[in-house]
Amino acid sequence: MFQSRNIGETLGVSSHFWLNQLATIINFSKRLSQTMRPSSPIIGNSQPMCAIRQLIDTIADSTATVLINGESGTGKELVAQALHYRSSRADANFVPLNCAAIPKDLMESELFGHRKGAFTGALADRVGRFELAHGGTLFLDEIGDLSLDMQVKLLRVLQERMVDPVGSSRPVSVDVRVVAATHRDLEVEIAEGRFREDLYYRLNVLPVTTPPLRERSEDIPLLIKFYAERFSQKSTPISFAPDFMDALKAYQWPGNVRELSNLIHRFSTLFAGQRLSLNAMPTPMLPKGLKKLQEDHAAAHPAPLAEPQDDAALFEEPHAADVLQLFPQEEPGQVPFSAPPEASDERNHVEDIILLAQGIATLPPDGVSLKERMAQIERAFIEQALDRADGNVSKTARMLNLQRTTLIEKIDKYRLRSA
Ligand SMILES: Nc1ncnc2c1ncn2[C@@H]1O[C@H](COP(=O)(O)OP(=O)(O)O)[C@@H](O)[C@H]1O
Ligand SMILES: [Mg+2]
């Protein structure tokens, strides 16, 4: 075996040279692996989503440039991936580049590559994204954020299909299908002098618009099911009672599918395997618009307040420890849990979430009706247990460590259905 020093000596080059080569190879393979993410399915049976799927099938194999427009989180990148993986270019690379994330000075080298020594810090040749996408697809995300200088250079490449690596006098020919996307209204950008009209027409040969989630609320249950299954840590994915599902369908989803997937991830982590009802959901867990829907729902359907004798039963039942698991019992010799964070209008939601994840509910700033909250918790657990036992009362009673007759009284009290 050679020692690394000997290779350099044998070929008459310095170890510095080999380090540079190694860095280039690692860099290249890192960027290549970023291009190999498999495409996720596009979920949704609403009319706009069916139309988009059909459009993707129609235009996937064309080499014409696509411009995808839509709010953030509506699936622009997903559509770009689908166009690539359904085209005859699928075996070559899908190369994404976020124009808003690359510093202005590095953009040219990122897109077109550079030759060693082209500028300070250019220690080795670097292949640009256009060359990396040769035979495949280049996805220029947030194209509305590209500087005017770079817009000129991009237009030239799109017309001539040749790139000039920085510091090289020899242009390189590239065969690349370009898909661009933006959440901006490019016609407004043109009117305000921030986007070149000629580049807009060059990009907008095949326009695709991804609709906001609030305009296709019939897709929401399907998306929720998809993400609940994806994020389920236990074998049973979380599920939602009808009141909660109605609120999720009515909510405006300003962050679109990205926001939905993050919320389902949060619920799946904190309430793994449970059936969630809107009234029982701690308010800090909900985005602002959903909190409002929760308040409206609670006003329209107040949780039945427990009768005094029922209250006594609630605390005396052997299952009380289970029902009260959000408020852990103090063990002898154990340090009592610390007080909830300062009650103020600007409560720290992150702390709330951490406390809740540890099983500790925080006291809201204005206090709480303990009786009402207990009833909510009791109802939510009975609902979940009934659901898990497929409505079988005896099984549900065993699961909750309750007498069958007591459970039946509570089912009647909360007007819950059983089989
Ligand atoms: N119709 C859809 N079906 C399934 N997942 C979707 C859908 N639309 C968006 N997503 C998911 O939402 C997230 C945001 O999508 P993305 O394509 O990055 O949005 P954009 O580029 O428009 O901001 C991604 O995780 C993506 O997989
Ligand atoms: Mg995006």
Q: Which ligand is nearest to the CA of 79?
A: 1
Is the CB–ligand 1 distance for residue 313 below 6 Å? Answer: no
Q: Which ligand is nearest to the CA of 72?
A: 1
Report the nearest-CA residue for atom 16 of ligand 1.
75
CB contact at 8 A, 272 and 238: yes
Is the CB–ligand 1 distance for residue 96 below 6 Å? Answer: no
Note the pLDDT of residue 39: 65
CB contact at 8 A, 381 and 323: yes
Is the CB–ligand 1 distance for residue 222 below 6 Å? Answer: no
Note the pLDDT of residue 412: 83
What is the chain's pLDDT, residue by residue, as a tens digit (419 residues)?
334 434 334 444 455 555 555 555 545 554 444 444 456 899 999 999 999 999 999 999 999 999 999 999 999 999 999 999 999 999 999 999 999 999 988 999 999 999 888 888 888 889 999 999 999 999 999 999 999 999 999 999 999 999 999 998 889 999 999 999 999 999 999 999 999 999 999 999 999 999 999 999 999 999 999 999 999 976 799 999 999 999 999 999 999 999 999 999 999 999 999 999 998 898 889 999 999 999 988 888 776 554 444 433 333 333 333 322 333 333 333 333 333 333 333 344 555 555 555 444 556 656 666 777 777 778 878 888 887 888 888 888 888 989 888 888 888 888 776 54
What pairs with residue 12 in β-bridges?
none
Q: What is the dihedral of CA 295, 299, 303, 307, to 10 degrees?
A: 130
CA distance 373 to 191: 55
**Phi-psi domain of 233 (left: phi exceeds 0; alpha: psi -120 through 50; beta: other):** alpha
Look at residues 160, 100, 172 and name the one whose alpha carbon lies nearest to residue 133. 172
Query: For residue 194, which phi and psi values (nearest 5 degrees)?
Result: -100, -10
CA distance 294 to 320: 26
Q: Which residues of 275-298 are buried (b: 16+ CB within 10 A; e: fewer)?
A: bbbbbbbbebbbeeebeebbeebe
For CA atoms 67, 72, 73, 77, give the dihedral sign: positive
Note the pLDDT of residue 313: 37
Cα–Cα distances in angstroms (integers) from residue 280 to residues 22, 273, 293, in the given order: 56, 16, 13
Q: Which amino acid is at 92?
A: A
Is the CB–ligand 1 distance for residue 70 below 6 Å? Answer: yes
Look at residues 319, 330, 318, 324 and name the one whose alpha carbon lies nearest to residue 375. 324
| Pairing of β 172-173 and β 162-163 | antiparallel
**What six digits make up the tokens of 52?**
């988009």
3-state secondary structure (DSSP) of residue 398: helix
CA distance 413 to 93: 61
Look at residues 247, 350, 347, 255 and name the one whose alpha carbon lies nearest to residue 292. 247
DSSP 284: G
Q: At what angle do helices 308-316 and 370-388 cross, to 10 degrees?
A: 60
State the distance from the centre of ligand 2 to the C-alpha of 77, rounded, in angstroms: 5
Long-range pairs, 318-325, Cβ under 8 A, ≥24: 318/401, 319/400, 319/401, 319/402, 322/381, 322/400, 322/401, 323/374, 323/377, 323/378, 323/381, 323/400, 324/374, 324/377, 325/359
Is the CB–ligand 1 distance for residue 44 below 6 Å? Answer: yes
CA distance 203 to 183: 15
CA distance 397 to 386: 9
Ranges of H-type helices in 120-254: 129-132, 148-160, 186-191, 197-203, 220-231, 242-250
CA distance 200 to 229: 40
